[in-house]
Structure 1
Amino acid sequence: MHCLLRTLAAMAALFHLTFSAIVKHEVKSLPGWDLPLPSRQYSGYLPVDAATKHYRFLHYWVSESMSNPATDPVVLWLTGGPGCSSMAGYFLEMGPILMNTSTSDVQLLANPYTWNQNATLIFLESPAGVGFSYSTNKADYITNDTMTAEDNFRFLVNFFAAYPEYATNDFYISGESYAGIYIPTLAEVIRTSKSNINLKGLLVGNGCVGNKVGGCGDSEQSVPIKIKFVYGHGLISEGIFSELQDRCGLKLNEIGVYCKEMLETVDVRTNFINVYDIYAPCIQSDSDIFWTAATEHVRRLRDLGFTECGAPGGLLKYMNQPDVRAAIHVESAAELGDWKFCAKLNYTGNVDSLLGVYPDLIAKYRVLIYSGDVDACVPYTGSEEWTSGLGYDFGVGWRPWDVNGRPVGYVTEYKANGFTFATLRGAGHQVPLYKPMESLAMFQRFLANVPL
């Protein structure tokens, strides 16, 4: 509580932010990193709710461009969940400093494929209650898609006021998974506002497109999309798939006892896989690809040597070290509690579908939808289905794209303002984690407005 009182006392200054004030957020060094920082780093809190008597404080981390920060693009990164921390993006995917995932010990490594080679990255922990972000009122931890978009917009307004040197640079919003909802809802607030945010484009990785459509949530299509995906990857037989299709019609929201039994059969066949990477040598102990896992089967797989997937233990240890929290200017564990990879939020997904929003966004901004093709959580097949279903004419349809002459995925380009759907072969749910070189090439080409 002491930290909250101190923060409230500083509110007057925080709402009149200047660059000189945010110099206090500069990260001078990081425990466990003995080299000079790869570029200027800033970490701290910005308030997002000046209109009430309580305040939400969102934690951000800026990793400035290594090239020309005065003119290079500024890119916001949002991790999904809802409830998962964007620090995962920094330390596991595209940040300049990575956590070694092959050990439970703390070990920091330089990332040769960091996305801040030619762009300034903002990693934002959102909404309040995620990571180090917090509120002075517990009622704020009951939230939804609309409120999250509004808070993210307020953050950006305050951020560019605090860092005016970035305000005129090209700006992009990026992220993955449930951020497929965060990104376009934020972009729509920007589009319809009178702000001067210089938004140019969106990058959505393995993203949801609504809670009632596509491959996420409890949409009518989500289970059929995943059934088709596991069948296409040889995880269920032709006979099981045909029987589901013929006798149940894959309309699995209105099924009888027989079809439920068929789905349980699929569950038994697939509950050993990691939903985020079907070829990973680990299992999800609480697997909910479609249904509750058969716990006896999971225990048997553990006995056979399968390990449990999850956040690297080293990252959890590191983010909760007192000296690390002090270095990045966040509240202590005594005041805020432990940092968690994903928080359990009281969150309502109140955006049913974004299919009606995308045409306005595509008309004004460049949009890249990309998918790792071995992700069973949000399968690429669902993203291909909804992107093609928008009805735009093809520019170039489903061609290979390459990096250094080696094919790394497939791309479909539409004639509508460069709207693009791309896959990355062998990548799971967090594409930059699985394919760092390829995802960097994709990112840089998109910012440069060069076709894949």
Structure 2
Amino acid sequence: MISPLTTNHLDPMVLSFRLSLSILLHLHPLFSASAYAHWTVNSLPGFSGDLPFSLETGYVGVGDREEFQLFYYFVKTYSNPKTDPLILWLTGGPRCSSLSGLAFESGPINFEGELKEGSLPQVLINPYSWTQNSSIIYLDLPVGTGFSYTKTSQDHKSGDHEQVQHSLQFLKKWFDDHPEFISNPFYIAGNSYSGMIVPIVALQILEGTYKHIFSFINFQGYILGNPFTIPHASENFRILFARNMALISDELYEQYDAILAYYWANNDQVRKALHIHEGSIGEWIRCRGKEYYNFELTSAFPYHVNLSSKGYRSLIYSCFEYSGDHDMVVPHMETHAWIKALNYSVVDDWRPWFIDDEVGGYTRSFANNMTFVTVKGGGHTPEYLREESSIVFKRWIIGESL
């Protein structure tokens, strides 16, 4: 609070304003002082030498008493951090770690090597990282995901609404600590179940309760891969179903790089390098069970309707395979159907897009500044075809025609 010794000679109106602001700072979690901490990571266990990219890890406290500690990885663009876009990446699930985005999807690393007792998987550089053209914050959200944790009950049950609020609180505090990125073009991205969350966060930034708080953000649009729009109850069984129907091999079922990540992220040297708070979590799990999550949203479609009316850019990409091998979690036909239901005219009709002379997939653009893209031969997330997904992203983010 303001000391009487500092207020004796202030104008009454100024004093009243400062007192009101002081009360607001204490009452509103979005404005409260943040106990964040971050570190520069120059090397990682499993990688030889210094990292050839800029990696920062850290925690941001959210909640009324900052009882929720959200962990993030921040990778600066390889190009120009002062002007290149900044992206907040929310991994789906819900409750799947953002290490999935960093190491399997759009980020600068991946894993290789045999699992041998006493050794770590080898960390490799992904030549198709989206960070060639943008800086990306990979956030472990909701709390209890990845390395994010709560200082109170380990059995805390998060949900859709809390995830939205924690996203907003995180962004406010992260930008407070990184003001040099305020003017960069800003996008929110994610895949799978984060398709339920990203449009709401975007809309809250633009016109919700917190619009005045985020007026400084240079918001440009959002990016979604195979997004959920209406949740599906049978998602837990689809990979197992694919395996039993011989659509994927036993070897593929037992890897997806997930086992390598498991051994890497649970290594003490790795946790020390990433500056994970000691004792904050037990076992790192890529995707945690959903018994501690409240599915509160029934549809994200109304939020797409609202955002479309504002004309912000959006990229919706969907992966599919020929010969009947489809993404069974969110088929591209379902995604295309709700986009058409927005009822905007087509400005660039259904056509193939190419990588050299090969068809990479198909695309269609609409008058609401939304681009729909399919990636041939892909799966549910970009990890299946990193090069193709990277090409789609690069062309779109710099404004090139697909």
Secondary structure class of the residue paired with 1:341: coil
CA contact (8 A) 1:413 1:419 kept: yes
Secondary structure class of the residue paired with 1:146: helix
Q: Which residue of 1 aligns with 2:393?
A: 443
TM-score, normalising length from structure 2?
0.82
CA contact (8 A) 2:34 2:60 kept: no
Cα distance change, pair 108–359 in 1 and its aligned pair in 2 (3 A):
same
CA distance in 2, matches of 1:366, 1:351: 24
CA contact (8 A) 1:84 1:342 kept: yes
CA distance in 1, matches of 2:156, 2:395: 38
What's the CA shift for 1:209?
0.8
What's the CA shift for 1:173?
1.0
- 1:200-252 per-residue CA deviation (whole Å, 9 max, x = no partner) reads 111100110133xxxx347xxx9xxxxxxxxxxxxxxxxxxxxxxxxxxxxxx
Farther off after superposition, 313-322 or 334-343 = 334-343
Q: For 1:413, which of 365, 370, 377 is the aligned residue?
A: 365
Secondary structure class of the residue paired with 2:205: helix
CA contact (8 A) 2:34 2:66 kept: no
CA contact (8 A) 1:101 1:312 kept: no
CA distance in 2, matches of 1:61, 1:142: 24
CA distance in 2, matches of 1:336, 1:139: 9
CA distance in 2, matches of 1:47, 1:147: 14
CA distance in 2, matches of 1:187, 1:278: 40
TM-score, normalising length from structure 1?
0.73
Q: For 1:375, which of 323, 327, 331 is the aligned residue?
A: 327
Q: How does 1:344-355 map to 2 (within 5 A)?
A: 344-345=289-290, 346-355=292-301
What's the CA shift for 1:424?
0.4
Cα distance change, pair 201–27 in 1 and its aligned pair in 2 (3 A):
same
Q: Which residue of 2 aligns with 1:15?
A: 33
Secondary structure class of the residue paired with 2:360: strand
Q: For 1:273, which of 242, 261, 285 is the aligned residue?
A: 242
CA distance in 2, matches of 1:425, 1:278: 20
CA distance in 2, matches of 1:85, 1:306: 20
CA distance in 2, matches of 1:168, 1:354: 28
Q: How does 1:281-296 map to 2 (within 5 A)?
A: 281-282=249-250
Does residue 59 (structure 1) correspond to residue 71 (structure 2)? The answer is yes
CA contact (8 A) 1:98 1:110 kept: yes
What's the CA shift for 1:279?
4.4
Indicate the percent of aligned positions where both proteins have the same amino acid. Answer: 32
Does residue 204 (structure 1) correspond to residue 204 (structure 2)? The answer is no
Secondary structure class of the residue paired with 1:150: helix
Q: Which residue of 1 aligns with 2:198?
A: 183
Secondary structure class of the residue paired with 2:272: helix
Q: Which residue of 2 aligns with 1:325?
A: 271
Q: For 2:95, which of 79, 83, 91 is the aligned residue?
A: 83
Does residue 121 (structure 1) correspond to residue 139 (structure 2)? The answer is no
Q: How does 1:140-219 map to 2 (within 5 A)?
A: 141-192=156-207, 193-194=211-212, 195=214, 196-211=216-231, 216-217=232-233
CA distance in 1, matches of 2:269, 2:103: 17
Farther off after superposition, 190-199 or 385-394 = 190-199
CA contact (8 A) 1:181 1:207 kept: yes
Does residue 98 (structure 1) correspond to residue 110 (structure 2)? The answer is yes
Does residue 339 (structure 1) correspond to residue 291 (structure 2)? The answer is no
Q: Which residue of 2 aligns with 1:359?
A: 305
CA distance in 2, matches of 1:396, 1:335: 50
Q: For 1:434, which of 376, 384, 389 is the aligned residue?
A: 384
Farther off after superposition, 396-405 or 127-136 = 396-405
Q: Which residue of 2 aligns with 1:423?
A: 374
- 1:269-290 per-residue CA deviation (whole Å, 9 max, x = no partner) reads x965249x984324xxxxxxxx
Q: Which runs of 5+ in 2 are unaligned?
A: 1-28, 321-325
Q: For 1:399, which of 328, 334, 351 is the aligned residue?
A: 351
Q: Which residue of 2 aligns with 1:43?
A: 57
Cα distance change, pair 425–79 in 1 and its aligned pair in 2 (3 A):
same
What code does the residue aligned with 1:119 have?
Answer: S
What's the CA shift for 1:40?
1.5
CA contact (8 A) 2:109 2:124 kept: yes
What's the CA shift for 1:141?
2.3
CA distance in 2, matches of 1:119, 1:435: 19
Q: Which runs of 5+ in 1 are unaligned?
A: 1-10, 223-266, 283-304
Cα distance change, pair 436–307 in 1 and its aligned pair in 2 (3 A):
closer
Cα distance change, pair 28–398 in 1 and its aligned pair in 2 (3 A):
same
CA distance in 2, matches of 1:379, 1:278: 19
What code does the residue aligned with 1:318 have?
Answer: W
What code does the residue aligned with 1:316 have?
Answer: Y
Farther off after superposition, 191-200 or 321-330 = 191-200
Cα distance change, pair 42–388 in 1 and its aligned pair in 2 (3 A):
same
CA contact (8 A) 1:146 1:185 kept: no
CA distance in 1, matches of 2:46, 2:71: 21
What's the CA shift for 1:309?
5.6
CA distance in 2, matches of 1:437, 1:54: 39
